[in-house]
Amino acid sequence: MAKIRLTKNELKKQKEALKRYTRYLPTLELKKTQLVAEIRLISQQVDKIIDEINRFEKEIFQWVDVFGENIDIGALFSVENVETNNGNIAGIDIEIFENVVFKDEEYDLFETPLWVDKGIETCKEKIRQQLKIKTLEKQMAVLQEELRITVQRINLFDKVKIPESKENIRVIQIYLGDERTSEVVRGKISKAKIQKKKELVLA
């Protein structure tokens, strides 16, 4: 603990600091609660999307098994652009997934099986959901880092700054109290001496 000045100005300074810490702590606690809730929500969204992707994959494998045709669906389209936007969660800037733009390759509609059109759409949807997961994971990483910093600040205020300020206030108040007592005692002694001198002069 740093050495403090045992003065009335320092006492005022410590009381203001304590007031500031105790006012800011509930705000940090609220932010922590919001961040934990948002991270949990994002995690649930990711789990839901993973379930969707698993369903898409089952559909694709069913078609492949039924028709038994070796067609590379992935060669029939490509990702041209991923569209994202900026958002805000609990005061934190995050990236939000908007859409993905695909570029379709030309293929012979007469020679290609009918199920391929549905297969392409399903594959596109799988990619769309995978990119959404990637964006959600980025959001989670940003929020988890902010949560780590927030918890550090809460611990700093709750376990260090607030107890330190309270102890400093206690020490200064004791010292100033002792000083006042000493002043009173000195005053009484001085008054007694003056009274004694008066009595000696009068005698």
State pLDDT tens for residues 90-138: 789 999 999 999 998 887 666 666 667 777 888 888 889 999 999 999 9
Residue 65: pLDDT over 70: no
Per the domain annotation, does 200 fall within a domain? no
Per the domain annotation, does 199 fall within a domain? no
* % of the chain at pLDDT higher than 90: 51
- Please answer whether residues 67 and 58 qualify as being in contact, where contact means their C-beta atoms are separated by less than 8 angstroms: no
Token digits for 131? 């990119």
Per the domain annotation, does 201 fall within a domain? no
Per the domain annotation, does 146 fall within a domain? yes
Residue 1: pLDDT over 70: no
Mean pLDDT value of segment 32-57: 92
Diameter of the chain measured on Cα atoms: 137
Instruction: Name the pLDDT band for 64 (thresholds 50, 70, 90).
Output: low
At 50, which CATH number? 1.10.287.3240
Per the domain annotation, does 99 fall within a domain? yes
More confident residue, 119 or 20: 20
**Which residues, 6 or more positions from 150, have their beta carbon under 8 angstroms from its beta carbon?**
28, 31, 32, 35
Can you give the pLDDT at residue 98? 93
Domain count, the chain: 1
Per the domain annotation, does 2 fall within a domain? no
- Please answer whether residues 32 and 150 qualify as being in contact, where contact means their C-beta atoms are separated by less than 8 angstroms: yes
The whole-model pTM stands at: 0.74
Residue-number span of the structural domain to which 23 is assigned? 8-194
**Which residues, 6 or more positions from 11, have their beta carbon under 8 angstroms from its beta carbon?**
169, 172, 173, 176
Residue 80, classified by CB atoms within 10 Å of its CB into exposed (0-12), middle (13-18) or buried (19+), is exposed
Per the domain annotation, does 203 fall within a domain? no
Q: How far apart, in Å, are the Cα atoms of 34 and each of 23, 38, 129? A: 18, 6, 25
Instruction: Name the pLDDT band for 68 (thresholds 50, 70, 90).
Output: low
Per the domain annotation, does 180 fall within a domain? yes
Residue 3, classified by CB atoms within 10 Å of its CB into exposed (0-12), middle (13-18) or buried (19+), is exposed
Residue 167: pLDDT over 70: yes
**Which residues, 6 or more positions from 45, have their beta carbon under 8 angstroms from its beta carbon?**
136
Q: Amino acid identity of 51?
A: D
Q: What are phi and psi for residue 111, nearest 5 degrees?
A: -90, -15
